[in-house]
Amino acid sequence: MIRDPETLNQLLDSVARFVRERLVPAEQEVAETDEIPPAIVQEMRELGLFGMTIPERFGGLELTMEEECRVLFELCQTAPAFRSIIGTTVGIGSQGILMDGTPEQQAEWLPRLATGEVIASFALTEPEAGSDAASLRTTARLEGDHYIVNGSKRYITNAPHAGMFTLMARTNPADKGAGGVSAFIVDAKSPGISFGKYDVKMGQRGAHTCDVIFDNVRVPAANLIGLKEGQGFKTAMKVLEKGRIHIAAVSVGVARRVLRDALQYAVQRKQFGQPIAEFQLVQALLADSQAELYAAECMVIDAARRRDEGLNVATEASCCKMFATEMVGRVADRAVQILGGAGYMAEYGIERFYRDVRLFRLYEGTTQIQQIIIARNMVREAMR
Ligand SMILES: Cc1cc2nc3c(=O)[nH]c(=O)nc-3n(C[C@H](O)[C@H](O)[C@H](O)COP(=O)(O)OP(=O)(O)OC[C@H]3O[C@@H](n4cnc5c(N)ncnc54)[C@H](O)[C@@H]3O)c2cc1C
């Protein structure tokens, strides 16, 4: 749903200009230093990007899902690490509070998240609980008016920069499954929280993950999201469902950029006395990429519109995440092929995208987990 096309177009134009003039020229520096320049993060704050999904009454832009996807199509035509710094705040880090938090919890945290003053992280995964997130072992034991949290979380995006965590922990040790899990808002400065070293990753330099260790961390009982125990896994799944459409939109944005670069190269590069773009075998690589990109774009917009209409999009969100993240992997692979040896060289940037996009098939539910969700929903529907 697009509320006001003129306002949205102005935002899309500003984001496209920001990407062209500020982010693309900084890509190499980010890849070399593994840091996003603070001035760029500040400009993202000023553009309102940290508040994209937060309601206007808390100082955000309150974008609908379709509007958010259209912004991501523009914002992600550059190194995905730039999106990552806002991604957890607009997505998985803040949405739990928005969806299930009490009015007091929302009023306390959302305004600071919307401005980007506080960066949010989402802490679900553990060393022994990845795809099987419901088996998580981090515990939160009620003692007076505080919960005492113990455990460790793994691969947490933006953890080294986070001001708060949306943390999933087990409040009922007798229930080893999803029903024993609760969600909390945890101030990252709480005593007892420590961080592992930055993970050394395949790609997305500039986006940081690390372990987060909770050692007898006291979390006020008032920070239990929705003030209800046992609801945390449901909150996490709702957050991830929206996140899947978000990551699919990110994949579309990156694919647009990679395909544009590959096309430009194919038109300029000559072999056998003619531009390689005129060879039909190269054209097949371009055409397959264009068709798949278009399909992913249509899927994302359709799923976003359905979600904006209030429909259940559990299956569609997983279809989008699975198809779009696999699509961008194939597009990046073909782009390397189109560039030939240059595709393998750091100087041309395509090999960086090839490594960067590999992540999209892994986090927020691997491709296999999306397949399981889609098929389970299909079978459940058929057996009703
Ligand atoms: C860079 C990065 C950032 C991340 N950021 C965050 C974050 O901010 N917050 C957070 O909580 N987590 C985060 N994660 C964790 C991420 O969500 C998990 O890595 C992911 O869910 C997969 O879990 P796993 O790594 O334990 O793999 P595993 O669950 O061990 O899976 C290994 C393989 O087995 C397959 N598999 C597992 N179960 C099944 C099954 N039932 N059927 C078929 N195949 C199966 C998987 O598809 C995969 O191919 C991040 C991960 C990375 C790499």
Identify the CA nearest to 78 among candidates 206, 346, 258, 205. 258
Nearest atom, ligand 1, residue 204 CA: 1
| 125 Cα: distance to centroid of ligand 1 (angstroms) | 8
Residues 178-206 pLDDT 10s: 999 999 999 999 999 999 999 999 999 99
pLDDT greater than 90 at residue 298: yes
The confidence score (pLDDT) of residue 180 equals: 98
Q: Could you say which of 66, 278, 364, 381 is catalytic?
A: 364
Identify the CA nearest to 61 among candidates 50, 69, 72. 50
Ligand 1 pocket test, pick from 88, 125, 154, 373 with the greatest ligand atom count within 8 Å of Cβ, gives 125
364 is catalytic: yes
The confidence score (pLDDT) of residue 305 equals: 98
Q: Is 228 helix (H, G, I), strand (E, B) or coil?
A: coil
Tokens at residue 214, please? 């909770």
The confidence score (pLDDT) of residue 93 equals: 86
Residues 255-264 pLDDT 10s: 999 999 999 9
Q: What is the mean pLDDT of residues 292-309?
A: 98
Nearest atom, ligand 1, residue 372 CA: 42
Nearest CA to ligand 1 atom 31: 131
Q: What is the mean pLDDT of residues 154-162?
A: 97
Q: What is the mean pLDDT of residues 84-110?
A: 94
Q: What is the mean pLDDT of residues 308-320?
A: 97
Which of the four pLDDT bands, split at 50, 70 and 90, describes residue 91? confident
Nearest CA to ligand 1 atom 7: 156
Tokens at residue 14, please? 């500003």
The confidence score (pLDDT) of residue 377 equals: 97
Nearest atom, ligand 1, residue 88 CA: 8
Q: What is the mean pLDDT of residues 30-57?
A: 97
β-strands 146-157, 164-170: how paired? unpaired
Nearest CA to ligand 1 atom 2: 155
pTM over 0.85: yes
Q: Which residues line ligand 1 (CB under 6 A)?
A: 88, 121-125, 130-131, 155-157, 201, 209, 359, 362-364, 366, 368-369, 372
The confidence score (pLDDT) of residue 204 equals: 98
Q: What is the mean pLDDT of residues 242-256?
A: 98
Q: What is the mean pLDDT of the chain?
A: 97
pLDDT greater than 90 at residue 313: yes
